[in-house]
Structure 1
């Protein structure tokens, strides 16, 4: 009998692997429905859905390996990173999905969330005051009007699989929907700034990418994530992770 491997587990959801099958357990039915819908609409490789019986979604394993991990150097080639950039662009050029995603929060809602989180980080001395203040200043550039595209919403490099220099699939679509393209690009390159040029080369040079906004999203995403990660058993202070990303923006 195959062993059950726990890949991710916290109070909101869990992902298990049994052989070549991944089981995603999510108590939020709307989030599970959004994931199934997004995978059906996305014009990029996604896992085969084997069955869905809420709160569980079963998907087939993808060939290849993840592009890398936050906090560790990526061994993938520049060509593989560029191929991922091309896949992201294909997603962003697709017809808009019917619902807003995590990357589509309004400026007002995002500003309020960021201000509340920074206040909490300071009040509880989670991070040094100068790091929070500088991070909040950098994050300001992300709080601007944007044209909605089809976004993944949680495009961490662990969610992109490659085989050699080819993208074989993208997983974890529960946050997908209409949103800011630069949010996806920033999430994907968080902690891997050295590969941003390769990603943008694959994404395409026909549009102007504001690098200050990408830096702003690195800061904003990190500030919003630190306390949640700590509370759910993760370590944002690990080398190369969220707190180091904030420090690098000084």
Structure 2
């Protein structure tokens, strides 16, 4: 009998693997609803939904391996990154979903509150937070909504050779800033941005992508610490903040 593998677990959700089946348990039923609908609408490969209950989703495993991991160099080929860029472009060009996504008028206020907490609680030095808050300002501009994944981390994209076999974890999908998806995918992997854009296209704002690297990292550091993750590990969020100029 296969062993049960805990892929990720915290107070909001957990993902378990049993053989070729992934079980996602989410305390927020609405996120499960979004994930199922987003996968049905997305014009890119996604996992097969085997069954679902109110707060549990069973998904078939995807072939291939993750494009990479945060904190480690990606061994995927430039062609695989370009194929990923082409898939993301296809998603961003698709008709908008009916529900909203990340962002909105409260983002700047939430960012300022988070920065204040990081400094007040001694999580990060004030100068590091201040520098990245200034960089993040470039992301706080009006954007044309696109169909975005919303949490397009590098290990949410699976490839087999130079082909994208699927994209997972769609619970944050919705209308959003396309540059946020590109920034999330290349967080900690700035050296692969050119390969990604070879497939995505060049009509992107590099300053906004860099701004989202800072903004996303600032917004998640405290949450990661409080939920048992290590944003201070080499190549992870705090290193991203330290690398900004």
TM-score bracket, shorter-length normalisation? over 0.9
Q: What residue number does 1:39 align with? A: 39
SS at match of 2:106: helix
Whole-Å separation in 1 of the counterparts to 2:46 and 2:110 = 31
TM-score, length basis structure 1:
0.97
Instruction: Report deviation, 1:140.
Output: 0.2
Residue among 135, 139, 154 paired with 1:138: 135
Whole-Å separation in 2 of the counterparts to 1:96 and 1:4 = 37
Count the aligned residue pairs. 245
SS at match of 1:153: coil
Alignment of 1:190-209 (within 5 A): 190-205=187-202, 208-209=203-204
- 1:221 matched to 2:216? The reply is yes
Alignment of 1:146-225 (within 5 A): 146-205=143-202, 208-225=203-220
Instruction: Report deviation, 1:173.
Output: 0.1
Whole-Å separation in 2 of the counterparts to 1:9 and 1:52 = 19
Q: What residue number does 1:243 align with? A: 238
Structure 2 residue runs of 5 or longer lacking an equivalent are none
Q: What residue number does 1:112 align with? A: 109
SS at match of 1:44: coil
Whole-Å separation in 2 of the counterparts to 1:224 and 1:94 = 28
Q: What residue number does 1:127 align with? A: 124
RMSD between aligned residues: 0.6
The Cα offsets for residues 45-76 of structure 1, whole Å up to 9 and x where unpaired, read as 00000001121100000000000000001100
The Cα offsets for residues 136-163 of structure 1, whole Å up to 9 and x where unpaired, read as 0000000000000100000001000000
Structure 1 residue runs of 5 or longer lacking an equivalent are none
TM-score, length basis structure 2:
0.99
